[in-house]
Chain A
Amino acid sequence: MIDLSQVTVAFGGRVVLSDVTLSLQPGDFFFLTGPSGAGKTTLLRLCAGAMAPAKGEVRLFGRPLSEMTSDARASARRRMGIVYQDTQFLDHLPLEENVLLPFTVRGRLDAELRAQADDLMTWVGLAGHRAALPPTLSGGERQRAALARALLTAPELVLADEPTGNLDWEMSLKLLTLLIELNRLGTPVLMATHDLALIRAAKPLVNARVLRLKDGQLTQAGAAL
């Protein structure tokens, strides 16, 4: 569904990704690990079509990114559930409207969706924060809202950048379980995380692969994990 082939990204001459190849197919569950600054976020942004590589090819749902118009990129993004590490809310709108934003921009917001959003926000423990402005929430609360928003659109695949970075262990496990449930139904998941404990906890539940990004190279981590 998403294919990176021999992709290279450099910022101001510094190579962040070098010759990276990755294919995300239905049913895949990938953990993406690596030290801070290794390029995890960069790789996820490539997958979301939010940036173009210097070299190599990115394909979203079979179409080369380089040949896509901005409308085509928007359409591709509508099929993805994307959770970024930071800055993913409109700070002047209440949390609930931020969660419903994907439907606002599609021009189809109805009572049923509002009810669904309500349920999902309650499930991730945000029932009391619907009217709160994002900047007034904690980092963990924002992450839960971001995941709720990504899942509300019933995405064909999930890209999540450290979705549990600020969460306590219990909530992390809860969200991980939700992603694993989705994955069992066939939805591929690519999740960047530093949390080795979480990866270990996932092992018995899902046939996940652990990808490690270091010095621009993407490798599959061994059995040591």
Chain B
Amino acid sequence: MTILDFLRGDPGAGRVVPPAGSTGRLVGLGTAAMAFLAVFAIALAAMLFRLGDSWRTDLADTATVRITSLGEARDADTETALEVLRTTPGIASARVIPDLEQQALLEPWFGKDLPLDSLPLPRLIEVATEGGGFDARALDLRLAGEVPAARLDDHDRWRAPLARAQGRMTGVTLAALALIAATLAAVTALAARAALSANAQVIDVLRLVGARDTWIARAFVRRITLRAFLGAAGGSLLAAAILATFPAAGTAGLPALRPGGLAWALLVPVPLFAALVAWITTRRSALRMLKGRP
């Protein structure tokens, strides 16, 4: 039995199995729920992917040097640090972030009327890299020698745990998807077995008139697979409709959960995949069960 035969269907085979009762409804409901969850898991995975992407592009080519000394020493230290940076290979430019800009950076956290002068704020030097970047350890050592009050912050330090967290979250999401698929497989396998046990007499009659086991299995499998497909289509449409009501822009530094553009296309295979899982598992358990019944 190929997929093509299966889709073409066999009007006779479709009719020999009595109308599915509660089993059919449960398969529909179960796959709808699984598809609903799967769609959210996929949306979450897509969001995490974009999150990692934005961190990489935003942070990849920059680093910051902090000057922590105060008063007159600060200006001198800034000059020396700039000099060191200019002579470091792999650094394209270094620029002192003006107070005004620094105030803008801090405004979201401390409010508008921040008295910058009275605060022991470090001065920040923004470093743009070029080529393959610079050797952070060597620069760290050089700064420590020449400007003890300067600290290199190459972003890797706090980017690494974020990236690790993102990787773990992605892993958890993928595991959730795998669990959803496994649950779906279990539900449909159970449904196939229930349908076959409930229709023992149908199987006997079909065998009496010379039906092959594959033909009998197909009659049941087709029914359950179609149910699974319709259930999953309903579940994913509902989930997609809910996602569509979410804001398109993200908040609090997180990208939006609502998929954009191509990510919507990722949801299309959900019902197809559900149908495929249903087809494989019901066919396997149906054939195995028929084999156990002489």
Chain A, Cβ-Cβ closest to B210 = A78
Chain B residues positioned under 8 Å from A102 (CB to CB): 209-210
Q: B212 near A70 (CB under 8 angstroms)?
A: yes
A23 adjacent to chain B (CB < 8 Å): no
Q: Which residues in window 35-74 of A have CB below 8 A to B?
A: 48, 50-52, 70-71, 73-74
Q: Which residues in window 120-153 of B have CB below 8 A to A?
A: none
B16 adjacent to chain A (CB < 8 Å): yes
Chain B residues positioned under 8 Å from A104 (CB to CB): 12-13, 16
Most chain B CB atoms below 10 A, which of A90, A97, A104, A105: A105
Chain A proximity of B240: nearest CB distance (Å): 37
Alpha-carbon distance A52/B213, docked complex (angstroms): 17
Chain A, Cβ-Cβ closest to B291 = A70
Alpha-carbon distance A93/B205, docked complex (angstroms): 12
Chain A residues positioned under 8 Å from B294 (CB to CB): 50-52
Q: Mark A65-99, 1 if CB is under 8 A from B, else 0.
A: 00000110111011000101001111111000100
B87 adjacent to chain A (CB < 8 Å): no
Taking a contact as CB atoms closer than 8 A, the residue among A51, A90, A105 that contacts B210 in the complex is A105
Alpha-carbon distance A50/B206, docked complex (angstroms): 12
Query: Are A70 and B213 also in contact (CB < 8 A) when A48-B208, A101-B205 are?
Result: yes
Chain A residues positioned under 8 Å from B198 (CB to CB): none
Q: Mark B259-280, 1 if CB is under 8 A from A, else 0.
A: 0000000000000000000000
B29 adjacent to chain A (CB < 8 Å): no
Q: A92 near B208 (CB under 8 angstroms)?
A: no
Residues of B near any A CB (own CB < 8 A):
10, 12-13, 15-16, 18-19, 201-202, 204-215, 290-291, 294
Residues of A near any B CB (own CB < 8 A):
48, 50-52, 70-71, 73-75, 77-78, 82, 84, 87-93, 97, 101-102, 104-107, 109, 149
Please give 18 more A-B residue pairs, beta carbons under 8 A apart, in addition to A71-B212, A92-B19, A107-B10. Answer: A50-B207, A50-B294, A70-B212, A74-B213, A77-B208, A87-B201, A87-B205, A88-B208, A90-B205, A92-B18, A101-B16, A101-B205, A101-B206, A102-B209, A102-B210, A104-B13, A105-B12, A105-B206
